[in-house]
Amino acid sequence: MSEHLDTLETRDPVDREAALMSALPGQVAHAQRHAPAFAQILAGIDAAHVTSREALATLPVTRKGELLERQKALRAQDVFGGHSAIGWIGQPGLHRTRRVFQSPGPIYEPEGEARDYWRMSRAIHAAGFRAGELIHNSFSYHLTPAGSMMETGAHALGCAVFPGGVGNTELQLQAMSELRPAGYIGTPSFLKILVEKAAETGVAIASVQKALVSGEAFPPSLRDWLLERGIAGYQCYATADLGLIAYETAAREGMVIDEGVIVEIVRPGTGEPLPAGEVGELVVTSLNPDYPLIRFGTGDLSALLPGRCPTGRTNDRIKGWMGRADQTTKVRGMFVHPGQVEQVRRRHAELLRARLVVSGEMADDRMTLQVEVEASAPEGLAARVADSVRDVTKLRAEVLLVAPGTLPNDGKVIEDARSYR
C-alpha cells in the first residue's frame, strides 16, 4: 500500500507551483464573474495578470468578519453574501448546492456536488486509513459541516462510515465494540473520553488503532497517551469555509499543505507576505470553483517550515495552529488594531518590527510600542514614532527602541499584558 494518496503529493515543487499559478488567473476571473462579492472586492483587477505569488499579494485580504458582515447585510437576497458561485432555486448562483451548513455567527457555507468536496481524503489517508475499512465518525452531523467533511472524504477514499456524531458516549462505545471500526475521526477530547469510559466499563474497543482528529488542540501529551493505548492519532487543519488546509503525516514534523489551496503567511493586520519561519496570519486562496475564496484570512497564526516532509511529500509545510491573529484590543475606551501598529511602522523606514504592549490595570492602561531598529537609528526617532502612534490611534504611548531580533517570533503585534484582577 502506498504511503501517498496520489502522485500530486510527490511531484516536483517547481511543477506544483507552475500548476497552481497557471490555475490562479482562471480562479480569480471565475470569482469575479460568478461571486458578486468578489466582483466588488476585485473590481479593476485584471485576472490575467495574477500569475504569481507577488501578483496575488497585491489583492486585498477578505477576513471572516467581513464575510459575516456581508452575509448579514444581504441575508434577504443572498445568504452567502455574494461569495458563493452556487445556490438553489430562489438563491443566486448555479443550482449545484448539495447541502448548506450554519457555523457560529451565523455564517452559512455551501457544499457542492464534487466528489470529496472538502478534499478530506488526503488527510484521512495520511492518518493511515485505507479503502474497505470502517471509520467511526464522531464529528457533528447537524448545522456545522464537520461530519459531512469527514464522511465525504472517507467515501472518496473507499471507506465505510459509522455516523456517530457527538455525545451518547455509551451508545457510541457499544457501536465501536460491536462494529469493530479500524479507527476514529473526531475531536481528540471526545476520543479520550471514549477510551477512558471503555477502560472503566470493560468495553472492548481494541479494533480502534488509528485516529484523525481536528477542531481542538492536540498536544503531544495526549498524542502519547493515546499511543500508549494502541491508537496512533494524527491531526489536520481544516475550516468550514475552505475545507482541508493542511494535514499531519507519519513524520510528525508540522503539517503538509493540501494540494487544492494556495497558502500565504502574512503580517497580522495586513496582507504583506512574510518569509518562511516568521509567524503570521494564515491566508488561503481556494481553488474550489463553487466557493472561490480569494486571499481568505483565517484569523489563525502559523508559520511556514523550511525543507520538505521526510515522508516524500513535497508541498510546503506549516507549523500548525499557533493562536489567533486578530489581536484587536480596547485601550482607554478606544479600539487598537494590528493594522494601526503596522501603519505606524510603515511611516518610519528605520523600524524593522513592532510590538505594542498594553500593560497596567483596568482604567489605568499604559501602551508601550517596542520597535526593532539598527544601532545607527537617528536621534529623536522615538519621539517621532510616539507622535505617529498618537496620530494613528489617538492614544499616547511610550516608544522603546530595541535591537534587531529582540522581539519574539510569535506573531503577536499587540500583547495585552494587563492585570484583570
Instruction: Give me the CATH number covering residue 338.
Output: 3.30.300.30
Grid coordinates standing for 308? 520538505
Residues 6+ apart with CB under 8 A from 13: 308, 314, 315
In-domain check, residue 107: no
pLDDT of residue 319: 94
Average pLDDT of every residue of the chain: 93
**Residue 396: domain span:** 329-416
pLDDT of residue 270: 86
Q: How confident is the model at residue 104 (pLDDT cuts 50, 70, 90)?
A: confident
For 23-39, what is the mean pLDDT? 98
pLDDT reading at 363 higher than 60: no
pLDDT reading at 67 higher than 70: yes
pLDDT reading at 126 higher than 80: yes
**Residue (of 299, 260, 306) closest to 283 by Cα position:** 299
Grid coordinates standing for 403? 535591537
Q: How confident is the model at residue 64 (pLDDT cuts 50, 70, 90)?
A: confident
Q: Residue 9: phi, psi to the nearest 5?
A: -70, -25
Hey, what amino acid is at 146? A
pLDDT reading at 379 higher than 70: yes
Task: Indicate if the alpha-carbon torsion angle 11, 132, 260, 295 is positive or negative.
Answer: negative
Indicate the helix (H) or strand (E) that contains 34.
helix 13-34
Q: How many domains in the chain?
A: 1
Measured CA to CA, the distance from residue 419 to residue 138 in angstroms comes to 39
Measured CA to CA, the distance from residue 122 to residue 63 in angstroms comes to 26
Cβ atoms 229, 245 nearer than 8 A: no
In-domain check, residue 374: yes
pLDDT of residue 419: 67
In-domain check, residue 368: yes
pLDDT of residue 292: 97
pLDDT of residue 58: 97
In-domain check, residue 335: yes
In-domain check, residue 394: yes
In-domain check, residue 106: no
In-domain check, residue 285: no
**Residue (of 361, 403, 407, 369) closest to 388 by Cα position:** 369
In-domain check, residue 197: no
CA neighbours closer than 13 Å in the CB half-sphere of residue 408: 8
**Residue (of 254, 255, 258, 278) closest to 268 by Cα position:** 278
pLDDT of residue 362: 53
For 254-262, what is the mean pLDDT? 98
